Structure formats: C-alpha cells, structure tokens
Structure 1
C-alpha cells in the first residue's frame, strides 16, 4: 500500500511539474508544440547526463 501511494505521489508530482513548465513556456508566447519538444529534449538531456555520470 505504501509503495503504491509513493508511486502515485511521484506520478502526480511529475505531471504537475510537466504542466507548470509547459504552461509557463506557452504563457511566454511559445507555441504548444515547441514547448512540448523543448520539455522532452530537456528531460532527455538530463537523463543522458545522469546515465553518463552513473557509468563512470
């Protein structure tokens, strides 16, 4: 039960961060598609950096 609630909490937090980041970019005048691409690229870059740091 605790593990399920923890997973749900992490998923909810990730969705809130996603919504906040994308809506902030859209409110600054960027198109929605460009904001989504930027968000995905930033997440992919961060994951790549973590992966490279863990492999050394």
Structure 2
C-alpha cells in the first residue's frame, strides 16, 4: 500500500512505545523512505508521519 500513498498523506501510529513498533519507527524516521515524522507524547506514544 505504501507506494500508493499520495504526497501529503498522514499516517498515525499508536502504541509506539512498544518494542514491536521499532521497525516501523525506524522506517518512517529515515528521510530516505520519504516521510517527515514526529513523535506525539501521549500515554503509550503516537507517531504522526507525512508522506513527502
């Protein structure tokens, strides 16, 4: 599905403090993968990423 995301698409991930989320976070936080991503510090964590 990722190649079909239009520029400007927002992706929101929940429970980002869980160890199982590490591969996802590594992906969206790497600028080479085409996202700008920020952590949103609530309870178990959230990550808001924008497809560039």
- Note whether the superposition's TM-score is higher than 0.5: no
TM-score computed with the length of structure 2 as normaliser: 0.28
Q: Which has the larger radius of gyration?
A: 1
What is the TM-score of this pair, normalised by structure 1?
Answer: 0.26
With a CA cutoff of 8 Å and minimum separation of 6, indicate the structure with the bigger relative contact order.
2
Structure with the larger helix share: 1
The structure with the largest strand share of the pair is 2
